[in-house]
Structure 1
Amino acid sequence: MLTAKQNMREAIKGGNPDRFVNQFEAIYFLFHPFMMHSPSPTKGQENVVNAWGVTNSFPANVPGAFPVHTPDKIVVKDIEHWQDYVHAPSLKFSNEEWAQWKAQYDAVDGTQAYKAPFIAPGLFEQSHHLCGMTNALEYYALYPDEMHDLIEYLTDWELELAEGICANLHPDAIFHHDDWGSEKSTFLRPEMFAEFFLEPYKKIYGYYHDHGVELIFHHSDSYCATLIPYMIEMGIDVWQGCMESNNVPELVKKYGGKIAFMGGIDNKSMDFPGWTKEDCAKATRKACDACGSKYFIPCITQGGPGSVFPGAYAALCEEIDKYSEEVFGVKADQIKRLPWQILF
């Protein structure tokens, strides 16, 4: 039987997986020193300022943290003078600090899972974190020169981060967040998106690929079907978070072999108050029957293992294993599970 990592590689490359890949089973999320130098709120905390000066809150009654954009807390007060407000945090860390993180990477069994540093927010998200969403969308249309300059500044910072990660931690994958749309549409029309983000991401993802990273997982839990040609050109190997609204089965048929798709199971399909195992089984069968096991990984669309409502993610994992037994004849108790793969 293939290891989780081998099976994921076979699915992504269109080879011969011996079962359905089970969500995030073959991605070991890891971190890097900057994460410890930029505070983020835990559940119940509010108005925590990170290293970029962005204020974030995580109220107890919501599923995740978000930027606070009251007028007094927006970082960029004047887009024409954004340089006065945006100051990139330092990425100069001691050898001892890098070594502490490297020890965690070395402790992971690389035959079982990809060692993937978690990187967020991405370029688009960072732009609206700094400016506010409404302001940022207006600026892309009305102040394109300033936004190009801001994105170049953010890109240079990400490239420096990539250099540190690759030189010190040697991951074989990265997991990069940047939400590019809502459930029904992209935030920018495709041509405008490409104008601002195609070349910057080609630089960032090209750097990772050129320095030992096998797979780029890009998370965007949204509608982004119209951006896939750009994703491929950027060097994205797996689009994680592809919502059902994208018609994922058609995307697999059209683009399989150029990019793989990880998602197809919206939270709303099995992660809601009163969810049941039957909901998880139904969502699993629908996605797997429609998309198959090649170029597709059945997965919740949120950007990491877990669920909003306790137990839903674990139940979905169980149903995927059950369906693998039904389709491939692989018994669930034969599948080797590492401790970190069953935490959720």
Structure 2
Amino acid sequence: MSMTLKENALAIYNGQQPDFYGDLMNAVELIGDPILMGDMPPQDGLEHADSWGTVYVYKPGAPGPHPHVTPENAVIKDIENWESQLRVPSLDQYDWSMARAQAAAVDRNEKFVGFFCAGGLFERSHHLMGMENALVNYMEYPEEMAALLRVIADYKIKLIRLAAEQFHPDIIFYHDDWGSKQNVFLPPSVWRKIIKPLQKEIADTIHECGMIYMHHADCICEPIVTDMVEIGVDIWQGVIAQNDIVKIQRVTDGKLAMVGGIDGPKVDIANIAEEAIRSEVRRAIDTYCPGGRFYPSIPNGICFLEWNNSIVMDELTAYGRRYALEHPI
């Protein structure tokens, strides 16, 4: 009898024999909560402020909205006076009935119910003041940034508990990009001092509520992966191939399940040969699946070029099943 998507994902998560190796996200049904949906701007290319006051622009055809923070519209213009400039939105006025209905419609034997918890500590901080100012402030005003992040963390913890009460997700899909394709954004010592303790509180909250903590960061996180384990990250989703994934599997001693490994930008280009795309998918599976607890996928989810994406998915489906059959645990 073949496994359900959830059973197959759990087999990989638990280091057991799966039917196939593939993207964990196929087994997750993300629920549209009222906070996220209320903050989503229309795809009209115009400026719209979210509940925190951050201005976003969602251009037609773009994969998602992006913050458009300027010196004029930044919520926090002076980090030394951030308390007088920031208004933390209330979480008490939202109607969760649609989210509850969506979650109730999911067959939890077939799929996980996921809560997309966007705008983590680092991302929210630079969305409030702009990336350049945030990076400078982390270095020159660490106490003020730590106090600001304390407030943001309290909001996130309350939101996670609220989601747990309303529809009890199986997985919290927490989003916070901590780096670029080249390196982490902050010196690890700064990240460890300011972000790590608060992130552990968030992880502890997720686990206290009986949920899995899956952290999305499609970037370099290699310098802080052992810290991610210490925090309590269960799954790192978005692992780009620019990380030394085999080394990470070794230094984390199999304690960090990972999703990604296929170099999306390498294959999401025009005029690429079909075999080059299939070869990259096989490379990822052959290289990272032997380390265990690995879900091969495109870190950001899909190729944006439709034909390229269809080849990736076809090869992932076929070779991911073949690999599982030929390499039993």
TM-score, shorter chain, exceeding 0.5: yes
Q: What residue number does 2:230 align with?
A: 233
Distance apart, 1:68 and its partner CA: 1.0
- The question of 1:115 aligning with 2:113 is answered yes
User: 1:184 aligns to what?
Assistant: 182
TM, length-normalised to structure 2: 0.93
- 2:200 counterpart SS class: helix
Give the match for residue 82 of structure 2. 82
Corresponding residue number in structure 1 for 2:156: 158
What is the DSSP-based 3-state SS (H/G/I as helix, E as strand, rest coil) of the residue aligned with 2:148? helix
1:24 is paired with a residue whose SS is: helix
Q: CA deviation at 1:274?
A: 3.4
What is the CA-CA distance between 1:256 and the residue it aligns to? Answer: 4.4
Residues 32 and 289 of structure 1, relative CA distance in 2, 3 Å threshold: same
Q: Distance in 1 between matches of 2:109 and 2:13?
A: 16
Q: Residue 286 of structure 2 aligns with which residue?
A: 289
Segment of structure 1 superposing worse, 292-301 or 17-26 = 17-26
The one of 246, 257, 261 aligned to 1:260: 257
1:13 aligned residue: 14
Partner of residue 342, structure 1: none
Tell me the equivalent position of 1:67: 67
Residues 224 and 2 (structure 1), Cα distance of their counterparts in 2 relative to 1, 3 Å cut = same
Q: Secondary structure at the match of 1:244?
A: coil
**Which residue in the other structure is 1:222 paired with?**
219
The DSSP-based 3-state class of the residue aligned with 1:17 is coil
Give me the whole-angstrom Cα distance separating, in 1, the residues matched to 2:146 and 2:268.
38
Q: What is the CA–CA distance in structure 1 between the aligned matches of 2:321 and 2:40, rounded to whole Å? A: 43
Tell me which of 265, 271, 288 is aligned to 1:274: 271
User: Could you say which residue in structure 2 is the equivalent of 1:3?
Assistant: 4
1:212 to 190, 210, 213: 210
- Whole-Å Cα distance in 2 between the matches of residues 312 and 92 of structure 1? 44
1:127 and 1:190 map into 2 onto residues whose CA distance is: 17
Q: 1:135 to 1:191 in 2, by over 3 A?
A: same
Instruction: Kindly state the Cα deviation for residue 61 of structure 1 after the two structures are TM-superposed.
Output: 6.7
- Over the aligned positions, Cα root-mean-square deviation in angstroms equals 1.9
Give 1:133 shift: 0.4
Answer whether contact 2:236 2:256 (CA < 8 A) is retained. Answer: yes
CA contact (8 A) 1:260 1:295 kept: yes
Matching residue's letter, 2:87: H
Q: Distance in 1 between matches of 2:132 and 2:3?
A: 47
User: What does the per-residue CA deviation read over 1:238-263, in whole Å, with 9 as the maximum and x for residues that have no partner?
Assistant: 11111111111222233243111111
Gaps of 5+ in 1: 331-344
Q: Which residue of 2 aligns with 1:310?
A: 306
Percent identical among aligned pairs is 31
User: Does 2:299 correspond to 1:301?
Assistant: yes
Instruction: Work out whether residues 229 and 252 of structure 2, in 8 Å CA contact, stay in contact via their aligned partners in 1.
Output: no
Residue in 2 that maps onto 1:324: 320
CA distance in 2, matches of 1:51, 1:273: 39
Instruction: Give 2:51's aligned residue.
Output: 51
Decide which moves more: 11-20 or 199-208.
11-20
Report deviation, 1:8. 1.1
Query: What is the TM-score when the length of structure 1 is the normalising length?
Result: 0.89
Aligned residues, how many? 324
Shift of 1:85: 1.6
Opposite residue 71 of structure 2, the aligned amino acid is P
For 2:262 and 2:3, how far apart are their aligned partners in 1?
Answer: 24
For residues 177-210 of structure 1, what are the alpha-carbon distances to aligned partners after superposition, in whole Å with 9 as ceiling and x for unaligned?
1000011110011111011111111111211111
The answer for the alignment partner of 2:128 in structure 1 is 130
Asked if structure 2 preserves the Cα contact closer than 8 Å seen for 1:261 and 1:295, the reply is: yes
